[in-house]
Amino acid sequence: MEEFDNNPMIIEKYSKSYSENNLLKKIQYAAKSAGVKIIYAVMILYCLLIDDKVPTKDKTLIIGAFGYFILPIDIIPDFLPGGFTDDFAALLCVIKMVASNITPEIKEKAKNKVVNIFGQVSDDQFELF
């Protein structure tokens, strides 16, 4: 798995694939097959991305992770069984890197967005680590 930290070229490469519209399309397409945990990770990062208090450096990491998530061709193609495993790893890597910005309010906003997509969700599905 390519590491997002310490390699600005990787972040730049994937960030070119990011747009809010592309992210929303990917979420709609992938929600059911990707599952709650992956979409919750996406929503945590999205809530951070739109938060004015989050530093630009961290937003750059988030955009890189979103670019990787959006691209259909990556280490494990999304259409294969387990195809979102690498996407989830990239998202979790960035979540760990920006964790100091994740407040209870961010988590709650992300949970609400996931519930809007999936309907009722059990609390254990929101545990990422």
pLDDT reported for residue 1: 44
Rounded mean pLDDT for each run of 10 residues along the chain, 129 residues in total? 54 74 81 88 97 95 91 64 78 96 97 93 91
pLDDT reported for residue 72: 72
| pTM for this model (two decimals) | 0.79
User: What are 122's two structure tokens?
Assistant: 């059990």
- Other beta carbons within 10 angstroms of residue 77's beta carbon come to 11
